[in-house]
Structure 1
C-alpha cells in the first residue's frame, strides 16, 4: 500500500543562481554495489512528483505506484515537491544518491529548462528514463458559466482587450505558457498570466474564479468537463479526440497551428543518470510489467492518454524528439530568445 506523506511545498520560482548552484547529485561511487543491486529494494523508495496534487502527473503517478510496488516487491512513498515549473522536484532527485531509492515522476517540462533559463537540469543529460508512461493532449478550458463559448470568442476578446483575460499558467515551460506563446505568435493575443503549481491548483483556481481560462492536460480537465464545471473550447491537436468529443481541434478554426502539431505533454519515471545498470534493469522491468495491468490501461484511455510504456533507447529517442519539437516551437514562437542550437538541440527534420 502506498504511504502518503505530507506534501512538500516550495517557492514558486527559484533563481537560476540557486538552481545552478545546487549540489551536483551522486555519481557512480554513491551507487549500489552488485550485491546491493541484487537485493534491491531493501528499504522504501521515494517517488517525487514534480507537480502538485490533483493534476495529470499526480493522478497518473499515484495510480501506477501501487502496481509498481507489487512488481518491485517494495514500497513507494509518494510525495509532491512542486515549484519552479517542476524544477524543484527535478533538482531534489538529482541531488540524492544515485542508488535507485529516489525516483522522479515527471512531465515534459525538464526538456525546456535550459532554453528557458529555469535550470541546468535536463532529462537527456542528468537522468535515465525508467519508463515513458504515455502522451496526452492539452485542452483550452474556461468555467461553464464563462461568457466565452468558443475559442474564437476567447481569442477575439483577448485581441480587442489586451491583458483583460487572466490566463492561469503552471510557470515557464508549462502547458499554458507554451500554448499562450503559440497563440500570441500566431494570433496576436495578450493574456494576463498568473502562475500556479500544476494542473490541480490551476483547476481549483478556475473553479474559484481566480482566473478566466487556462490550458490543462485533457486527462486532468475531463472530469471537470463531465461534471459540468468547465467548458473545453478546443484541444491543441490537429484532429478531435475520442476522450473529448465535444471539443474541436484547434486547427479547425486556426489551421496555422498545424506546423506545431502533433504535440503534447507526457508523463514518465526517471532515475539519476548514475544509477547502476542492475537497479535500472529491475526498475524498468517492474514498471513495464505494472503498466500492462488492464485497469491501468483503461484508466489511461479514460483520461485521454495515449499509452506508450517505452524504456531504454526507445525512450531516449522519444525524449530527443519531444525536446527538439518543443524547444524549437517556443523559439520560433518568440517565447524564448535562447536558441536551442546553443544546447546542441537540432530541429526534428535535421536529426
Structure 2
C-alpha cells in the first residue's frame, strides 16, 4: 500500500523534495519502549505566518517537554500543502516525522491534487482544534459590508481578485460555496498559505481573501484588515460584532458549521505503540492553560482529540468538504468514486 506513485502534476511540483528525501532517512524503526530517543521532525505543510504555522510552533515546545525530545520544525509548503504531506508519507514509518497539517489533504483525491488523503494514508496523533474562517479586505477597501462585496462580484464577474492558497485551500472551498449559492465570480490568484495571503492583501495585490480567524485577527485588531463576515452559522466571541455569514445569506446555512482544523498526523503504518506515545505527549501538552487561552483568543475551539474520536472527526470533515465542492461543480472526480459518503448518509 505504501509509497504509491503520485500524479504527474504533483511529481513535477515536488520533484526536488522527493530527490532530497531519497538521499537519506531514519533507519531506526519506531519502538514504543524507547521512543523517542532522537529528534522528531515536525513538517508544517503551509508557509510561515499562517494559522497552521502559528498554532504548530506554539504547541511544539510544549510537546517537547512531554515527550522528552527536541522537535525540529520545518515549513514545506507547495501544491496546496501536498508537498509537505508527500514528504512525510515518504519517510520511514517510525514516528520521527510528523505532519502538522490543516484540512486540505481531505480534498486531494476529488481535486486531482494527490492520491493521498488523511483517511487512507495517515492517522491522526491529535486533532488540535476547529478553526473558523473570515472574509477579509484591507481597511481602505471600498467594501464596508459583505453585501457590498457580493453585490459587486455578482454585477462585475472577475473584476475582483481573490487570493487563495491553491486548490483545496480554505479560500478555494469558501469561494466555491459563495459561487454556488450567491452567484459570485472572482479572479483567483494562488499563494502559499495564510501568511503570504495576508502579505498580499497588505500590499494591495488582491482585493479580498478568506483567512482563518486565527491568522486574520491580529491584522483586524491592528486596523490593517476589515473582516466582513465569519463563515459560520453564529457570531464568534473572538471577532466581536462581525456578522455570521448565514445571518446575511440564510441559504448558506446548509453548509455550516464548517471550517478549517489543525492536527498532527503520522503515516498510516506507524506502529501503534509509537502513535500512543505521541498521542499521550500531545494530549498533555494541549492541557496547558496558556495554550488553551491562545487558541481561544484566535477563535479556535480547542478539541484535543485522539484515537477513534480524532479519526471520526477527520472522516466527517472529509464528507462535508468534498460534497460541498461536488455540489458547487468544483471537483475533478465525484466523492462517490472514493467511497466518501455524504454526511447525512
1:17 shift after superposition: 5.4
1:159 shift after superposition: 1.2
Runs of 4+ in 1 over 6 A off after TM superposition: 19-25
Query: Are the structure 2 counterparts of residues 169 and 14 from structure 1 closer, same or farther at C-alpha, using a change threshold of 3 Å?
Result: farther
Please give the secondary structure, in 1, of the residue aligned with 2:80: helix
Post-superposition CA distance 1:124-146 (Å, at most 9, x none)? 11111000000010000000000
Q: Between 336-345 and 290-299, report the one with greater CA deviation.
A: 336-345
Paired residues in the alignment total 333
Instruction: Quote the residue 2:85 is aligned against.
Output: 90
Post-superposition CA distance 1:32-87 (Å, at most 9, x none)? 26xx4311111111000000000000000000000000000000000100001000
Instruction: Quote the residue 2:161 is aligned against.
Output: 166
Instruction: Quote the residue 1:15 is aligned against.
Output: 9
Instruction: Quote the residue 1:264 is aligned against.
Output: 259
Post-superposition CA distance 1:321-341 (Å, at most 9, x none)? 000000001101111142100
Residue of 66, 72, 77 corresponding to 1:77:
72
Residue of 33, 41, 45 corresponding to 1:38:
33
Preserved contact between residue 31 and residue 98 of structure 1 (Cα < 8 Å)? no
Preserved contact between residue 31 and residue 276 of structure 1 (Cα < 8 Å)? no
Q: Distance in 1 between matches of 2:29 and 2:224?
A: 49
Q: Between 16-25 and 221-230, report the one with greater CA deviation.
A: 16-25
Instruction: Quote the residue 1:100 is aligned against.
Output: 95
TM-score by length of 1: 0.91
Instruction: Quote the residue 1:290 is aligned against.
Output: 285
Post-superposition CA distance 1:7-37 (Å, at most 9, x none)? xxxxxx9714558997999xxxx7726xx43
Query: Are the structure 2 counterparts of residues 49 and 17 from structure 1 closer, same or farther at C-alpha, using a change threshold of 3 Å?
Result: closer
Please give the secondary structure, in 1, of the residue aligned with 2:73: strand
TM-score by length of 2: 0.93
1:246 shift after superposition: 2.3
Instruction: Quote the residue 1:344 is aligned against.
Output: 339
Post-superposition CA distance 1:296-328 (Å, at most 9, x none)? 000000000000000101101001100000000
**Is the counterpart of residue 55 in structure 1 residue 50 in structure 2?**
yes
Preserved contact between residue 31 and residue 274 of structure 1 (Cα < 8 Å)? no
Please, what is the CA RMSD of the aligned residues? 2.0
Residue of 311, 319, 328 corresponding to 1:333:
328
